[in-house]
């Protein structure tokens, strides 16, 4: 890929790819119970954690889901 689009663009492409792979299914996380059931679903990278927070913000559409989103962040 580097030969086609250049080293900087290839590096940026693979950084974005890693961020996408680090993502998690926010709807699934919201549906799990607090604690041991949720923990394995949480991302382990900084990019994944940022994505989780943005996803929780988008998915929290009512008081119940907002309460659960806050529990997850805590």
Percent with pLDDT over 90 in the chain: 38
Q: Is 13 helix (H, G, I), strand (E, B) or coil?
A: helix
pLDDT at 63 over 90: yes
Question: Which tokens in the block code for residue 69?
Answer: 């989103």
Mean pLDDT in residue range 63-68: 94
CA dihedral 25, 26, 30, 33 (to 10 degrees): 40
Contact 15, 57 (CB under 8 A): no
Residue 2 pLDDT class (50, 70, 90 cuts): low
C-alpha–C-alpha distance, residues 68 and 15, integer Å: 30
pLDDT digits (tens, 9 = 90+) for 23-55: 789 999 999 988 888 989 998 888 788 889 999
Cα Rg of the chain (Å, integer): 16
pTM for the full predicted model: 0.69
């Amino acid at each position: 890929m580097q030969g086609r689009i250049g080293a900087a663009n290839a590096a940026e492409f693979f950084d974005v790819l890693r961020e996408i792979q680090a993502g998690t299914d926010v709807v699934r996380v919201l549906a799990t119970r607090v604690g041991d059931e949720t923990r394995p679903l949480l991302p382990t990278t900084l990019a994944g954690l940022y994505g989780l927070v943005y996803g929780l913000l988008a998915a929290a559409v009512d008081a119940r889901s907002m309460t659960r989103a806050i529990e997850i962040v805590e």
